[in-house]
Chains A and B, each alone.
Chain A
């Protein structure tokens, strides 16, 4: 009974938006538009609440954290710097040069450095995959090697043949597998969305 009201609300809102998708009606469109605005507002409020909760938690950790105070200090310091850059008098918000500089000069190089490690992690993952399930991983790695050979930047007749073969491989076998996966994901996503809409929980009670 406790869940009946939220469930009813979710079902009604979901069906209204679906009805608006298939039926053209001015009143229905206005109602759906209002609901969508509420959804955006709720998401924004949830994000702000989350950020506030994070800040309060870090303050709590700073008070009672003992030796491990560097983490909360860094988080609170980072939040303060970004907030000051975005809200100082005369600031243009997220597009302010100070905010842009913080993102471009501090965050992006860190992210780029991390993603630069991907090649080495791929090799590590291949090794782990060979240990876990050698046959399947061998097939996968052989296919990856074949794709690499097909994509070699060669000229002449061999290069033209390789280019044609790589286009065929991308469009037919690889494309087929990918499309099949995407169709399966789309169907499962729709079923999952319907489950959430109807508040049907598949988890066990054990």
Chain B
């Protein structure tokens, strides 16, 4: 009967065999580089809110005001998740934009729920429709306004980019606030123009580099390129978080200044600042 030592020995032997049968696909240098990049990425995502920078990307902090104005005028809020979808046969980078836009939809839906403004989300992908519907329902649940959830709508406008653009042109005019976030293609100008028609405020965003100019021309608040991915991080919980970010920024700049000045003094001034600062 094998004992514990034998079992461990066999396990170690098995791991050794597996390791022996393996080789690095990219060589030691690139593998270490990928591992290093992963470490940097993990440190960046360890804290979901912006650590080093805080801004008002795409005028998203003004969403509550836009919703208040929409509530006064009895208008709706229109939100499009772009035309890339989740399971459509387009590039993965475009589909990832739909996922990146969901936290922004959540933010807008919460503001709409609080203000009593019906939100209408349009998508051209059935799976994205389900995600959008869940996001809006969750927003009503979190704001304890479930009685208003029935006024929110998620519309699947059909497959393809052209159908989304055509629906935007023929859709309900004059929304109180219009948002288009996600992957866009050659239909961008038509889609954005359809959403912007008569809207009191517009916020458009895409990480599709070729459509950056369309967004810049049509939108009041804009999220261009990487900003679409940064924006969810900036939707921070409270003012205290923003103050913490500002304080963190100042500490980072002060540390950098001390490092640069200290290095210059050591190199050119011959001053032993290290002993003064760290005591040894």
Which residues on A are within 8 Å of B, measured CB to CB?
18, 21-28, 43, 46-47, 49-51, 53-54, 75, 107, 110-111, 114-115, 117-118, 121-122, 124-126, 128-129, 132, 136-137, 140, 178, 181-182, 184-185, 187-196, 198, 200-206
Contact of A118 with B190 at beta-carbon distance under 8 Å, contacts A182-B209, A204-B107, A204-B236 already known: yes
CB distance B166 to A185 under 8 Å? no
Q: How many residues of B contact A (CB 8 A)?
A: 68
B42 within 8 A of A: yes
Taking A114-B162, A185-B207, A185-B209 as given, write out 5 further A-B residue pairs in contact, using a Cβ cutoff of 8 Å, ordered by the A residue number: A25-B21, A50-B129, A125-B218, A129-B218, A189-B93
Query: How many pairs, one residue from A and one from B, have CB atoms within 8 Å of each other in the complex?
Result: 159
- When distances are taken between beta carbons in the complex, the residues of chain B under 8 Å from A22 are 24-26, 31, 34
Contact of A121 with B207 at beta-carbon distance under 8 Å, contacts A22-B34, A46-B87, A53-B130 already known: no
- When distances are taken between beta carbons in the complex, the residues of chain B under 8 Å from A185 are 93, 207, 209, 225-226
CB distance A202 to B235 under 8 Å? yes
A203 to B44, CA, bound (A): 16
B248 within 8 A of A: no
B230 within 8 A of A: yes
B214 within 8 A of A: yes
Contact of A24 with B22 at beta-carbon distance under 8 Å, contacts A50-B129, A114-B166, A185-B225 already known: yes
A178 to B208, CA, bound (A): 11
**Overall SS of chain B's interface:** helix
Closest to A198 in B: B45
B203-219 Cβ-contact flags toward A at 8 Å (1 or 0): 00001010011101111
Which of A23, A50, A132 meets B23, CB within 8 Å? A23
A50 to B142, CA, bound (A): 26
Question: Which residues between 175 and 234 of chain B lie within 8 Å of chain A, taking CB atoms?
Answer: 186-187, 189-190, 192-193, 196, 207, 209, 212-214, 216-220, 224-226, 228-230, 232-233
B126 within 8 A of A: yes
- When distances are taken between beta carbons in the complex, the residues of chain A under 8 Å from B246 are none
